[in-house]
Amino acid sequence: MLGYYFIIAVAIIASLLLTRKVLQHKILLVLFNGLQWSLTLYMCFHLHSEELGYFTADATAIIMLIVLSILATTSSFHSIYYLQHHHQRHATPQHAQAIYYAALCILIMAQTGAFLSSHIAVTWIFIELTTFSAAILIYHERKEDAVEATWKYLFVCSVALTLAFTGILFLSISAQASGTIDLSYRSLVNHAATFNPSWLKLSFLLILVGYSAKMGLFPMHTVCVDAHTVAPPPISAFISTTLMNVGFVAIFRMYSIIASTSILIWANHVLILAGTLSVFVAVVYLMQVHHFKRMFAYSSLENMGLVAIGLGVGGIGYYAVFLHLIFHSFTKASMFYQIQQVHHIYKSYLIKNTGNYFKYYLPGAVVILLSFISITGIPPSGMFFSEFMMFRALFEHQYYILLIIVLILLSFTIWALGRNFFRLVFSTPEDLDESRLDQGDPVQSISQYVLLGLVIYLGFNPPSQMVALINEAIKNLPF
Amino acid sequence: MLAVQGFLLFLLAFIQLVNVTILNLVFILLETLVFKTIALPLFINYIIRKNKITRETEPFVSYFISLLIITAAIIGSFILVQQIQGLGYDTLFFVVALSTLFLGLYVIISRGKLLTHIMGYVVLENGVFILSLAVGNEMPMMVNTGILIDIFVSVLVMGIFINKIGDVFNNSDTQAISQMKD
């Protein structure tokens, strides 16, 4: 099935590049989404099936694949709107649209491959592929800052991934020394206990630093932030959610390898350190940010920091990490979709140019309020449950000082996010020319209601299949 | 300089490979000789001519200090490899690989031209290649091909991007692209 998926996907991408008609592009995009969903459903019913030798549909992959497919559908939908509006104002050439759609399909395909791959180097190949396709999409608006951000994204990600590859080579050294030649995850997990600890430490560090560029974690988070600022909003929604999940899955699989070795405690401390620094950096920048998309980017950094802490603490933290990633994906994506409409109305992403959103566009203002509640983890949001579980894990494992630090930092984020969100929704801006404002289109807000509704529903009432999948994904980790 | 490095890599790989299949030989030949020795330097030359990039006159760090740092890095990798020996590998390979990695990273950090950054990236990749030779390369064929294509595309896309930056800013230094900050 996966073989057919790749063949058909490549065919769709090629025909996207060859056609020039907008209608044909849309039809092909719908076809691609259909393909994505049929693959996802097929994989759901064939858990643990092996495909093409290098791909396995394990529980981690399935969870992330479902999130990816949901967001792929909404992002495609919003991309069509985005290109229409952008086309009206800037007269983008037809081939730029074709390239946009093709790169979007490549990005979705590469992420699917990265989730499903069961060989450590195959994961790397697909992650490198996401870099190129994301870079093309970031560059779409073709302005000066787009050039700058794309260059940084491309170059820093490439160097970071080279570091990650060095980490993979070190891992294969330690594997070889103990007689393991096969570098698939299953064989690595089974034999990890016999590996040389110092090589393993080195390779874990390199892989963590390398993939942190994708996950948006502390040492390499800057590229993601710049990329968000200029990328089209539906693409920002991708970079900030599913692409971060890709980075997480890559790090998580490495973590599962070392989970049965003697360096687990050391690795936990590294993760907690990276996570705490991420949260700290995010809070510092959130206090002084003046651009909505940068603000969201720093909020993603903060959430990924929480995820790293949760992974490092362990226990119920493992479960919370997956829950948090799912809810964060849905919430952050809907924030980016909504900011696209804010930009459509105010023609600006700067916080100081906006205000009184309730008056100009009621459905959007409600979305903004809901997503504020959701992202800051105020009940009834699902993120409340995941964050609560993380704090419980911190408490149970006696990280009291860390718990207090994280809670203080989090209250600062709530204050910073709240200030800017409420400014957008309630305050009356000075010198705002009402005649220049555009009308919002309520159809575009539907997807955000669905996603935010999902966050609340899944938080209160998690379906038993989802719980089973998450427990399956973390069953090999020590509690 | 890169062409020479590519050719040396080819020789190294050729000497190292004693018992290989024909497929693997073709692959190594393609990677080192065709790609790293011929295609890449030609491509970089093309970018230099198109954007009229001049040789760097004022590096951030003076040449003498750079030389000292690189020497220190090479000595450091010797010491590092001595520390972690006992794995049954050719230690010289490791020293060369590690110092090439450091050199690539150092070039990227210390220079202001974007093109030099790409060259630093290529040096970094060469270091990774030597390392994979030292490891004895256990990756399956498919995986190897994928990695090769990825690296090729990355250099290609970056080169095209330098052209774009040259067009937009009339300048391809790092100073040109530091507008974005909070």
Nearest to A219 by CA among A251, A241, A242, A188: A251
Question: Which of A201, A236, A262 is the C-terminal boundary of a domain?
Answer: A262
Radius of gyration in angstroms for the set of CA atoms belonging to chain A, rounded to a whole number: 22
* Helix or strand holding residue A51 (H, E): strand A50-51
Question: Which tokens is B129 given?
Answer: 């290649």
Q: Which residue of B has its CA nearest to A53?
A: B142
**pLDDT score for A144:** 77
The reply to whether B169 touches chain A by the CB within 8 Å rule is yes
How many percent of chain A have pLDDT more than 90?
43
Question: Which tokens is B93 given?
Answer: 């390979």
Question: Which tokens is B40 given?
Answer: 């890449």
DSSP state of A56: E
Tens digits of residue pLDDT in A221-242: 888 888 888 888 999 998 889 9
Compute the Cα dihedral for A88, A91, A97, A100 and give only its sign: negative
Cβ–Cβ < 8 Å for A278, A297: no
**Average of per-residue pLDDT across B87-112:** 79
Question: Which tokens is A384 given?
Answer: 């409340």
Task: State whether A205 and A349 are in the same domain.
Answer: no
Partner-chain contact B158 A196, CB within 8 Å: no
Range with the lowest mean pLDDT among A1-10, A30-39, B9-18, B158-167? B9-18
Tens digits of residue pLDDT in B129-171: 878 777 765 566 666 777 777 777 777 777 777 777 777 766 6
Q: Label residue B16 by pLDDT band (50, 70, 90).
A: low
Distance of residue A23 Cα from the nearest chain B Cα, in angstroms: 29
Contacts with B179 from chain A: Cβ below 8 Å: 144-145, 148
Question: Which of A262, A295, A330 is the C-terminal boundary of a domain?
Answer: A262
Task: State whether A233 and A275 are in the same domain.
Answer: no
Q: Which residue of B has its CA nearest to A226?
A: B180
**Is the per-residue pLDDT at A275 higher than 90?**
yes
Nearest to A222 by CA among A313, A148, A332: A148
Q: Round to the nearest angstrom and report the end-to-end CA distance of chain B.
A: 39
Helices (H) and strands (E) in chain B, counts: 7, 0
Residue A3 amino acid letter: G
Residue with tokens 């950054």: B117
Instruction: Report d(CA A174, CA A328) in Å as an integer.
Output: 36
The reply to whether A8 touches chain B by the CB within 8 Å rule is no
Partner-chain contact B142 A54, CB within 8 Å: yes
Task: State whether A219 and A289 are in the same domain.
Answer: no
The reply to whether A125 touches chain B by the CB within 8 Å rule is yes
Cβ partners under 8 Å of residue A47, min gap 6: A57, A58, A59, A62
**Is the per-residue pLDDT at A104 higher than 70?**
yes
**pLDDT score for A126:** 92
Partner-chain contact B157 A154, CB within 8 Å: yes
**Is the per-residue pLDDT at A134 higher than 60?**
yes
Q: Which of A54, A119, A132 sits opposite B153 (nearest CB)?
A: A132
DSSP state of A50: E
Radius of gyration in angstroms for the set of CA atoms belonging to chain B, rounded to a whole number: 18
Residue A213 amino acid letter: A
Provide the 10 A C-beta neighbour count for residue B176: 19
Total number of residues shown for chain B: 182
Contacts with A162 from chain B: Cβ below 8 Å: 121, 124-125, 128
CB-based burial label for A381 (10 Å; 0-12, 13-18, 19+): buried
Cβ partners under 8 Å of residue B144, min gap 6: B27, B137
Q: Round to the nearest angstrom and report the end-to-end CA distance of chain A.
A: 35
**A56: which strand partners?**
A50
Distance of residue B87 Cα from the nearest chain A Cα, in angstroms: 6
**Average of per-residue pLDDT across A299-314:** 92
The reply to whether A131 touches chain B by the CB within 8 Å rule is yes
Specify whether the backbone of A91 is left (phi greater than 0), alpha (psi in -120 to 50) or beta: left
**A350: which strand partners?**
A291
CB-based burial label for A383 (10 Å; 0-12, 13-18, 19+): buried
Tens digits of residue pLDDT in A185-220: 888 888 888 888 888 888 999 999 999 988 888 888
Q: Which residue of A has its CA nearest to B134?
A: A173
Mutate to test the interface with A, among B177, B178, B179, B181 (most CBs of A within 10 A): B177
**Is the per-residue pLDDT at B19 higher than 60?**
no
Partner-chain contact B150 A199, CB within 8 Å: no
Angle of helix A242-258 relative to helix A197-215, nearest 10 degrees, comes to 170
**pLDDT score for B94:** 79
Range with the lowest mean pLDDT among A226-230, A289-293, A383-387, B8-12? B8-12
* Helix or strand holding residue A55 (H, E): strand A55-56
Task: State whether A178 and A327 are in the same domain.
Answer: no
**pLDDT score for B89:** 60
Over chain B, what is the mean pLDDT?
75
Instruction: Report d(CA A459, CA A450) in Å as an integer.
Output: 14
**pLDDT score for B18:** 58
Partner-chain contact B135 A169, CB within 8 Å: yes
* Helix or strand holding residue A162 (H, E): helix A144-177
Range with the lowest mean pLDDT among A44-58, A61-75, B128-142? B128-142
Q: Which residue of B has its CA nearest to A202?
A: B84
Helix (H/G/I), strand (E/B), else coil: A104: helix
Q: Label residue A289 by pLDDT band (50, 70, 90).
A: confident
**pLDDT score for B62:** 76
Full domain range(s) for residue A184: 1-262
**Is the per-residue pLDDT at A446 higher than 80?**
yes
- The CB-based long-range contact list for B82-90 (8 Å cut-off, 24+ gap) reads B84/A198, B84/A199, B87/A173, B87/A177, B87/A196, B88/A177, B89/A173, B89/B134, B89/B135, B89/B136, B90/B134
Interface of B with A in 109-148 (CB under 8 A): 114, 117, 121, 124-125, 128, 131-132, 135-136, 138-139, 142-143, 146-147
Cβ–Cβ < 8 Å for A295, A289: yes
**pLDDT score for B48:** 79
Distance of residue A129 Cα from the nearest chain B Cα, in angstroms: 7
Cβ–Cβ < 8 Å for A165, A210: yes
Task: State whether A255 and A337 are in the same domain.
Answer: no
Tens digits of residue pLDDT in B23-48: 767 777 777 777 777 778 888 888 77
Mutate to test the interface with A, among B135, B137, B145, B170 (most CBs of A within 10 A): B135
**Is the per-residue pLDDT at B59 higher than 70?**
no
Compute the Cα dihedral for A167, A168, A173, A175 and give only its sign: positive
Range with the lowest mean pLDDT among A151-165, B12-26, B105-119? B12-26
The reply to whether A439 touches chain B by the CB within 8 Å rule is no
**pLDDT score for B179:** 66
Angle of helix A120-138 relative to helix A144-177, nearest 10 degrees, comes to 180
Instruction: Report d(CA A422, CA A378) in Å as an integer.
Output: 15
Partner-chain contact A148 B179, CB within 8 Å: yes
Instruction: Report d(CA A354, CA A372) in Å as an integer.
Output: 17
Q: Which of A144, A152, A172 sits opposite B138 (nearest CB)?
A: A172
Total number of residues shown for chain A: 479
Nearest to A188 by CA among A127, A121, A268, A126: A121
Task: State whether A292 and A144 are in the same domain.
Answer: no
What is the ipTM, given to two decimal places?
0.86
Tens digits of residue pLDDT in A314-359: 888 999 999 999 999 999 999 999 998 888 888 888 888 888 888 8
Provide the 10 A C-beta neighbour count for residue A428: 8
DSSP state of A435: G
**Is the per-residue pLDDT at A405 higher than 90?**
yes
Question: Which tokens is A212 given?
Answer: 């942190």
Task: State whether A178 and A268 are in the same domain.
Answer: no
Task: State whether A10 and A152 are in the same domain.
Answer: yes
- CB pairs < 8 Å spanning A and B: 98
Q: Which residue of B has its CA nearest to A135?
A: B157
Q: Label residue A110 by pLDDT band (50, 70, 90).
A: very high
**Is the per-residue pLDDT at A461 higher than 90?**
no
Q: Label residue B56 by pLDDT band (50, 70, 90).
A: low
B117 vs A29 pLDDT, higher one: A29
Angle (nearest 5°) at CA A332 between A328 and A337: 150
**Average of per-residue pLDDT across A254-260:** 89
Cβ–Cβ < 8 Å for A229, A450: no
Distance of residue B142 Cα from the nearest chain A Cα, in angstroms: 9
Q: Which of B135, B150, B169 sits opposite A173 (nearest CB)?
A: B135
Cβ partners under 8 Å of residue B21, min gap 6: none
Over chain A, what is the mean pLDDT?
88
A199-224: buried (b, 16+ CB within 10 Å) or exposed (e) per residue? Answer: bbbbbbbbbbbbbbbbbbbbebbbbb
Range with the lowest mean pLDDT among A287-291, A393-397, A419-423, B17-21? B17-21
Residue with tokens 């089973």: A468
A449 vs B46 pLDDT, higher one: A449
Tens digits of residue pLDDT in B85-99: 655 566 777 788 888
- Count of the separate structural domains present in chain A: 2
